[in-house]
Each structure stands twice: as C-alpha cells, then as structure tokens.
Amino acid sequence: MSQVEPFTAGKAVWHMHPVMFLDAIGANDDGVTYKKLKVIFPQATDSDLNTVVEELRGRLTEFKLDTPTRLRHFFSQIKGEVGPRMIGKTEGFQFSPATLRTFSLYYREHPAESEIDGYEKNAAGKIIRRANEQAIGRKHYLRLNGNRQSNPGDGYNFRGRGLIQITGYEKYHGFMIGYDKYWHGAAPDTISNPEKINEMPFAIRSALWFWLHYEVYSRDHGKGYSDVVGVTNRVNGGNMGLSERQEAYKLCEKVFL
C-alpha cells in the first residue's frame, strides 16, 4: 500500500477499519444483525435487539445456532412464545373451570375444586372472579417440571418466564448452576428472584441455556418448516402455540437465508 499514490503524496488518508465497515453496512460474521432481528421482532426495543446481537456475536457455533435452519427455529420459537416485542413475560394461570379439567388430572379428579379455583364469569360473559393462580400452582403444577414436593409454592413461583418460558424449579435452578459454563460473572439468583429470567441479558441467556441443555437443536433435521412440529414439542412438550411458531418460521425463512 506504500506504493499507492495517495500514500506517497504526503497528505492525510482517510480509511475505515474493516470491522467497522461490516457494522456500517449492517452485517457481521455471524449473520445475526439488528436489521434482521427487527424484521422478526418489529416492536422490540433497540436496546433489547442490540443486546441479543452482542450476546450472539462470534458464538453461534458454540450455541448450536450455526446453520440457517437452527437460527430460524430458535427465533421462531421465541416469537411464538413472547410475540413481536421480544420481551420476557410471566406465564399466567387464568383458566376457566372447564379448561382446568381438560389438561389437569388433579382437577378432573376434583371437579368441585376446579369451580372454586378457575375464574368465574357472569351471564354476560364478563369475568367477575379471577382464577386462584397460587392454588392452581399448588394443585396442578407442583407435580410437574421438577418442582419440589416439599415446597408448595414452587408451582406458582417458577411459572414460565423469559423468551422461551423457562418453567419449574428444575430449570430455574439448572440455569443458575449451569450459568458459568457459558458466561462470566456471578450467576443470577433465579431461585430467590425468579423475575430475573425476564430481564435482559438473562432473558436471552436463559433461552440459549435451554436450547443447549435440552438439545432443542437436535430436533432440527434440516427439513425446515416440517421440523417445526418436533422443535415445538421439545420446547413445550406438545403442540401448544404451534400455528404461531409455524407462521414465525416462515418469516424467519426470509431473514436467515
């Protein structure tokens, strides 16, 4: 370059660092950018989108997000769980008595309690009594998700949170003790303060931990859209929200090529 005329003229030469140039045109070596995420999550804040970009920068292979289909599945599951704002939220247990009986063996065996714990509507269809979420947590969810039978509050306290709805004591505790495998610094105390799962950067980190720990990526067989069923089943144990995830996957196909 010392032979190039501008460098021999004795004048100042302006240049741009190649990494800064890639950022300026909205690209990086990972293929995950603010611009791409904004298409998927149009209502997300700039701060949250940039946090996700930085969390993934240079680490897609480590996080098993190193193919277009894996990226599509990961972000379509998040979109299906929390929607276009990409913000962690806490699962609600606002169910009618009839709904409680459809999915809960406990309430099918104790139908009178479903009428007490489920929400109540008046003749006009307006809810006049909210469901008793703590009771539902004790009676149904305490038996699931690795919750401790000796801690009756686990079913309610460790409701789904974060971008992939981490649920149950087993997962909250697992994220906390497995944290230092992937990130530096003190792990968040998600047992004493479960709401931490909803806060960035822990919202995206808990989603990444779940993706790796439960090997969700293994349900991606490279078949694209047809694999959404299997990935969804691995995330939530069934097909709840499947149509939203399938729709999100179609969008992600246009983003991660």
Domains annotated on the chain, with CATH? 26-89+160-257 (1.10.530.10), 92-159 (no CATH)
**pLDDT score of 23 more than 70:** no
Per-residue confidence band for 30, with pLDDT thresholds at 50, 70 and 90: low
d(CA 3, CA 6): 9
Examine the pLDDT at 245 and tell me if it is beyond 60. Answer: yes
Residue 27, pLDDT above cutoff 50: no
Residue 129 in tokens: 């009594």
- In 83-227, alpha helices (H): 97-103, 105-109, 111-117, 133-139, 154-157, 169-178, 202-213
Which residues are CB-contacts of 24 (< 8 A; sequence separation ≥ 6)? 16
Reported as a pLDDT band with limits 50, 70 and 90, residue 31 is: confident
pLDDT at 20 over 60: no
Band of residue 13 on the pLDDT scale cut at 50, 70, 90: low
Report the DSSP beta bridge partners of residue 161: 166
- Segment 227-231 long-range contacts (CB within 8 Å, at least 24 positions apart): 227/69, 227/73, 228/73, 228/76, 231/73, 231/77
Model pLDDT, residue 237: 82
State pLDDT tens for residues 170-210: 999 999 999 999 999 999 999 999 999 999 999 999 999 99
Report the C-alpha gap between 83 and 71 in whole angstroms.
Answer: 17
Joined tokens for residue 248: 């999100």
Average pLDDT of the chain?
90
